Amino acid sequence: MPRIHYRPYTKSDEDAVIAHILAIQQGEFAVPVTAEEQPDLRAVADVYQSGTGGFWVAEMEGRIVGTIGLIGFATSEGALRKMFVAAEARGRDLGVAAGLLAILVNHARDAGIKGITLGTIERLHAARRFYEKNGFVPIDPAALPEGFPRMAVDTHFYRLEL
């Protein structure tokens, strides 16, 4: 079984991370979004790695197969973003999604974050099941925390109380 290595994002990961995310968004799920429409991908240090946030990657055999980001906002809130795992690295056997989520949740707790909120889209059924299995509960858009950085494409929202 291949070994998975988890680590914080570095600027040298930028192009590989963008290619990884776009391959899943555009290629696998036909989400009509470009890199230009996601300026956070070229500003990871500023958007994610400042304050209480963070951004991590999972590598397998020298290439990025998973990403996850946390944006700290308000006084003790976090927004989960950019969780993407390559098809060949999904599932319980390798545990990439679970490993990335555990890193993010542990970091959030250590940073004093009290709740993590995320938005996703209807067609990502497996992702929505994964979040629910990991303690996230669906919330109405009207219940989003003040200051939550909402994405226009998101239709389903979840929250994990820490």
pLDDT (0 to 100) of residue 115: 98
Distance of alpha carbon 136 from alpha carbon 97, whole angstroms: 14
Chain mean pLDDT for the chain: 95
Written as six digits, the tokens of 101 are 């989520």
pLDDT (0 to 100) of residue 152: 82
Written as six digits, the tokens of 78 are 């976090």
CATH number, domain of 132, equals 3.40.630.30
pLDDT (0 to 100) of residue 149: 94
Q: What is the DSSP letter of 144?
A: S
Residues of the chain with pLDDT under 50: none
- Considering its fold, how many domains does the chain have in total? 1
Task: Give 32-51 pLDDT, tens digit per residue.
Answer: 889 999 999 999 999 999 99
Domain of residue 72 covers 4-161
pLDDT (0 to 100) of residue 123: 84
End-to-end CA distance of the chain: 33
Q: Is 4 helix (H, G, I), strand (E, B) or coil?
A: strand
Task: Give the Cβ contact number of residue 11 at 10 Å.
Answer: 8
